[in-house]
Amino acid sequence: MNRPKPVMLLILDGWGYREAAPDNAISVATTPNWDALLAQHPHTLIETSGVHVGLPAGQMGNSEVGHMNLGAGRIVYQDLSRIDHAIETGEFFRNPALLGACAKVREAHRTLHVFGLLSPGGVHSHELHLLAMLDLAKQQGVQQLCVHAFLDGRDTPPRSAGPSIRLMQKQCDALGYRIGTVSGRYFAMDRDQRWDRVQRTYVAIVDAQGEPADCALAALQSAYARGENDEFAQPSVIAGHVPMVDGDAVVFMNFRADRARELTAAFVTPDFNGFERRLPALADYVCLTEYAADLPATVAWPSETLQNTLPQVLSANGLSQLRIAETEKYAHVTFFFSGGVEAEYPGETRILVPSPKVATYDLQPEMSCPEVTDKLVEAITGQTFDVIICNIANPDMVGHTGVMAAAVAAAEAVDLALGRIVAAIRAVDGALIVTADHGNLEKMRDAESGQPHTAHTVGPVPLVFVGAATSVRSGGALRDVAPTMLHLLGVPVPTEMTGRNLLQDTPDA
C-alpha cells in the first residue's frame, strides 16, 4: 500500500457529540469547515468514558484517561478504578507507603496532613478515597490529622462543594480530626507555573495565613458571598489550624498527576524557586500515585508500565513523529499519550506553544489555537514527519469556564483551524483522523441545577477520517485509534493492542 505522509491524529479536546441544543456551543457556533467535514468524509462516534476507557461504569472521561487510551491502543485501567478496588479488597489499608507515613507521625506525636481535591468528580481524586485515608489513619493510631480540602467546581457544578464539606466534617468529627484549610483548585492545583496562585495555598497550609473562617462550611459561604465559586475560593484558614512543624507528614490523595505536581514540588524540591517559602523538615511526603519521576517523594501506587504503545511502536519501526500542543495540554499529548513515559523516543520531536497568560480562558477563548495551527500547517507542508499528533486545547479549557458566549467563540476558532489543517493535509495527500478525548463544549448548562455545566460529559465523541478510506465502522472507542493509525502506516499491530482498525474497507477491519 502507498503510505500517506503524514498520518495525523488531531485531538479536539472536549469536542463531544450531542444533538443540537441551545446550550450546545458546537451546534450554536458557525462552523462551516466542521459541517463540510461531516458532509464530505466518513465519520462515526466512539466511546470515551466508563468501562470503555478503564473507568467505573458511567464515569466521565478526562484528558489524561483519553490520551492514555489513544496512545496505548487498549483499555488502560485507570487509577480511580485501581484505588477503588484496593479499598474494596482491603489492600488500601495495607499499603506500605500510607502505613509508613502514619507510623512516623504517630511515633513522633506530630500531625498527618491529608491533601486532596474534595470532590465526587472522579477526575483528579475522589472524596471517598480521602475518607478511606482518615479511616486508615485512625486504625493506625494517628492522633493528630489535618485535612486540607481543595474545592472542585470544574469537574462538578460550580457551587456544589457543600455536601462534600459536610461529609468530610462529619467524618472528622467522628474520628477526632479536623479540616485545617480550604482552597479552590484554581490556587491549589495550578499546572501552568502560575506560582503566585500555588503560593496562596502553600502559605495557608504551612504558615496558617489566609482568609480566616470558623469552620470549613463558613469558609465556603464566605467565598460565595465574595462572588467566588468553588474552583476560585480563596485559600482560607480554619480556626484552630496552626503552622506546620518539623516532623509532620503529608499524604496527597489526588491520583491524577498533572495538577498535583506544582504544590508537591513546593514541598519536596530542595532548590525550588517558584516563590519564597518556609520549608518544614517533613518526616514523609506521600503521593497517592507518581506525579513526576524527578519529584523526591514516596509513591503509594507506582505507575504500571505499558509496553508497545503507539509512540514506542512508531519509534521501533524507524518512523518519525511530532507531538504538538499548547501548554495546558502539552503533558497530555506527550507524557500521557506515551503511557506515562516522560522521555522522548528516538525519532520524536515536540513543539510546545505557550498558553495565553489570562486569569480565565473565557477572556481569550481561542487561546493559542491560531499559533498551534501555524506550527502544525508548517509541519504538514514540510512533510518531515511520518506521524503528527496534535491537541487543540481550547474547546475543553473554555468549556470548563461555563461561559456560553466564550464557548461559541472557542468552537469557531477551532473551525477556522480545521479549515487550514484539512487543506494542508489534502495538499500533501496525507491522512487525518479528527476526534476528541472526551466531551465538554457540547453541554454548557446543567438542566437539573440550572447552573453552568463546567464538567466533562459522559458519552461518545465524533471521529472523522480524511483520506482514502470510504467508510468507518461503528462501535469504536478511543483504544481503536492507534491500531487504525498503524494500519494506515502498514505497521503490524502488536498483540498488546486490543483495539481494532476503524476503517471498514480494509482487509483487517
pLDDT digits (tens, 9 = 90+) for 136-185: 999 999 999 999 999 999 999 999 999 999 999 999 999 999 999 999 99
35-42, long-range: CB < 8 A, 24+ apart: 37/418, 37/422, 37/434, 37/464, 37/466, 38/462, 38/464, 41/464, 41/465, 41/466, 42/464, 42/465, 42/469, 42/470, 42/471, 42/472
**Residue 18: pLDDT over 70:** yes
DSSP 8-state secondary structure symbol assigned to residue 323: E
pLDDT digits (tens, 9 = 90+) for 36-66: 999 999 999 999 999 999 998 999 999 999 9
- Choose, from 27, 49, 63, 222, the residue flagged as catalytic: 63
d(Cα 325, Cα 441) in Å, to the nearest integer? Answer: 19
What's the pLDDT score for residue 508? 44
Count of alpha carbons within 13 angstroms of residue 469, beta-carbon side: 27
63 belongs to the catalytic site? yes
Note whether 238 and 180 are within 8 A (CB): yes
Bridge-based pairing state of the strands 236-238 and 144-151: unpaired
pLDDT digits (tens, 9 = 90+) for 368-397: 999 999 999 999 999 999 999 999 999 999
Note whether 480 and 461 are within 8 A (CB): no
d(Cα 93, Cα 234) in Å, to the nearest integer? Answer: 33
pLDDT digits (tens, 9 = 90+) for 449-476: 899 999 999 999 999 999 987 899 999 9
Q: pTM of the entire structure?
A: 0.78
What's the pLDDT score for residue 1? 54
Would you state the cell numbers that stand for residue 460, as one nine-digit string?
461518545
Bridge-based pairing state of the strands 284-289 and 236-238: unpaired
Taking CA atoms, 151 is separated from 94, 146, 207, 234, 235, in Å, by 28, 16, 20, 10, 10
Measure the CA dihedral 252/253/259/260, to 10°. Answer: 20
DSSP 8-state secondary structure symbol assigned to residue 335: I
d(Cα 157, Cα 478) in Å, to the nearest integer? Answer: 26
Domains, the chain: 7-76+306-489 (3.40.720.10), 80-301 (3.40.1450.10)
Q: What percentage of the chain carries pLDDT values higher than 90? A: 95
- Look at residue 468 and give its three-state secondary structure: coil
